[in-house]
A = this chain, B = another copy of it.
Amino acid sequence: MPLQTAETITVGSELTRGQSVDTHSALLARTLGQAGLRVRFQTSVGDRLDEIAEAVRTALGRADLVVVTGGLGPTLDDLSREGIAEATGRALAEDPALWAVIEARFRSFGRVPTENNRRQAFVPQGAVALDNANGTAPGLRLELGDKAVFALPGPPSELKPLLESEVLPWLLKRQGRHARSRSLQCYGLGESAVDQALKDLVPAGDTTSLAMLAHGHHVEIILSALEADPAAADAKVEALEAAVLERLGERIYSLDGRDLAQVVIDLLKEQRLNLATAESCTGGLIASRLTRVPGASEVYDGGVVTYSNSLKELLLEVPPFVLKRAGAVSKDTALAMAVGLARKLDADFSLAVTGIAGPDGGSDEKPVGTVHLALASPSGVKHQRCLFKNSDRAGVQSRAAQAALWMVYCALAEIEIPEEGTDRGGYQAAD
């Protein structure tokens, strides 16, 4: 019988004390969803044996699959092994073969295991150890009739690979299903607008699914298909992708999870062009996003942060009368910044941003959230005016940076952009 429902348990007193935010539960839910399981409850519990055991017992009483993360380390407050043994009534015993594997892993890291590490070789009776190539704590899988329990290490660099290599494949095999998924990135529409545009694509009860994740300045669309036949899963997810592209068209800038800055860098590399930036209200955020991409230096030399008027004059030679007449936040200043940057750095694309991030500095004519973008290139100088409503300072900066990268993307992908920006953000469906 296939597994239908799941419960996840994240273990650690840093969670129940509020010292850490639990990001694992969301990752686990997405992974389990790929195998067609529905998560009923997500539980966090501190490092106490009685409470871990209680959480596992409760979870096994109400879900087919239980996934425990954390609490598999070598220290005395790592108690997930003991909690699972107690909840399932299985004795915990040392597995000598597993201890040999752990010792070898330590040697490969150039370290020597302590006597404490021996605890990591203990497994509940009947459990299978899962090889953890990125750490010393093995994962565990324990089948209990129609149900199953996984125990996985807490560090993300160990958890993620084990989910991919051990949990998802086992689940798909157990379910007799093949999963395919894709992550599309969409610019300029809010979550509810994307939902509205796509909601009839997946009929109720279908084996495909479509989920929206709002990321502040864009919306991620996750397509997935779950089929007995792998070719059918491929075909389903491809058909769904084609349908999404038909509806959202040019607003989809990435079919493989890449960030917009990464997409821009990749297009610049392909077209052997380079970029320079002049930032006022975004204050270095665009430069920072570009330089977070490994290898950005091939196509991005840098730029200037001209936060004050005097630096706009000094570094970009924006004429003082432009600043005086039109104001620092204006089409004329944005154009002058882009042209000044082009003259100074001689890049193929010269991008300039000026705006009002707030909380102060707004007026009726130019409210907080007003941003002017300009892009100078051999094909001319383009301008766009955006208004980012209902955003705080960091939100305006973040959305302005995304809009500016979008402008470069459109130039590279030969997409026309309107003079007035249309970004409605990923979290601003209502404005």
Q: Which residues of A contact B (CB under 8 A)?
A: 15-23, 25-31, 33, 38-46, 51, 54-55, 58, 62, 211-213, 277, 279-288, 290-292, 294-297, 300-308, 310-311, 314-315, 344-345, 357-360, 393-394, 397
Decide: B42 and A44 in contact? CB cutoff 8 A. Answer: yes
When A26-B20, A28-B18, A284-B286 are in contact, do A306 and B302 touch as well, CB less than 8 Å?
A: yes
Decide: B22 and A18 in contact? CB cutoff 8 A. Answer: no
Main secondary structure of the interface of A (DSSP, over half): mixed
CB distance from A379 to the nearest CB of B (A): 24
When A296-B307, A302-B306, A311-B302 are in contact, do A17 and B39 touch as well, CB less than 8 Å?
A: yes
In the bound assembly, the distance between CA atoms of A296 and B394 in angstroms comes to: 13
Decide: A284 and B291 in contact? CB cutoff 8 A. Answer: yes
Decide: A294 and B393 in contact? CB cutoff 8 A. Answer: yes
When A16-B29, A29-B17 are in contact, do A285 and B288 touch as well, CB less than 8 Å?
A: yes
Partner among B17, B20, B285, B301 whose Cβ is within 8 Å of the Cβ of A308: B301
Residue of B nearest to A16 (CB): B39
Partner among B33, B287, B294 whose Cβ is within 8 Å of the Cβ of A287: B287
A-B contact pairs, 21 of them (CB 8 A): A16-B29, A16-B38, A17-B30, A19-B212, A21-B21, A40-B46, A41-B51, A42-B43, A42-B45, A280-B302, A282-B291, A283-B288, A284-B284, A285-B288, A287-B288, A291-B307, A294-B360, A294-B393, A295-B360, A301-B306, A302-B315
Partner among B213, B277, B286 whose Cβ is within 8 Å of the Cβ of A19: B213
Chain copies in the assembled complex: 2
In the bound assembly, the distance between CA atoms of A54 and B23 in angstroms comes to: 24
**Chain B residues whose C-beta falls within 8 Å of the C-beta of A41 in the assembled complex:** 16, 43-45, 51, 55
**Chain B residues whose C-beta falls within 8 Å of the C-beta of A360 in the assembled complex:** 294-295
Residue of B nearest to A55 (CB): B41
**Chain B residues whose C-beta falls within 8 Å of the C-beta of A18 in the assembled complex:** 25-31, 33, 39
Decide: B19 and A25 in contact? CB cutoff 8 A. Answer: no
Decide: A301 and B307 in contact? CB cutoff 8 A. Answer: yes
Decide: B22 and A26 in contact? CB cutoff 8 A. Answer: yes
**Chain B residues whose C-beta falls within 8 Å of the C-beta of A213 in the assembled complex:** 19-20
When A18-B27, A43-B41, A288-B288 are in contact, do A307 and B302 touch as well, CB less than 8 Å?
A: yes
Decide: A292 and B26 in contact? CB cutoff 8 A. Answer: no
**Chain B residues whose C-beta falls within 8 Å of the C-beta of A22 in the assembled complex:** 21-22, 25-26, 42
When A39-B16, A311-B301 are in contact, do A292 and B29 touch as well, CB less than 8 Å?
A: no
When A287-B283, A297-B308, A311-B345 are in contact, do A17 and B45 touch as well, CB less than 8 Å?
A: no
CB distance from A305 to the nearest CB of B (A): 4
When A27-B18, A42-B16, A394-B292 are in contact, do A284 and B305 touch as well, CB less than 8 Å?
A: yes
CB distance from A134 to the nearest CB of B (A): 13
Greatest chain B CB density within 10 A among A41, A54, A300, A393 is at A41
In the bound assembly, the distance between CA atoms of A303 and B306 in angstroms comes to: 7
CB distance from A312 to the nearest CB of B (A): 9
Residue of B nearest to A359 (CB): B294
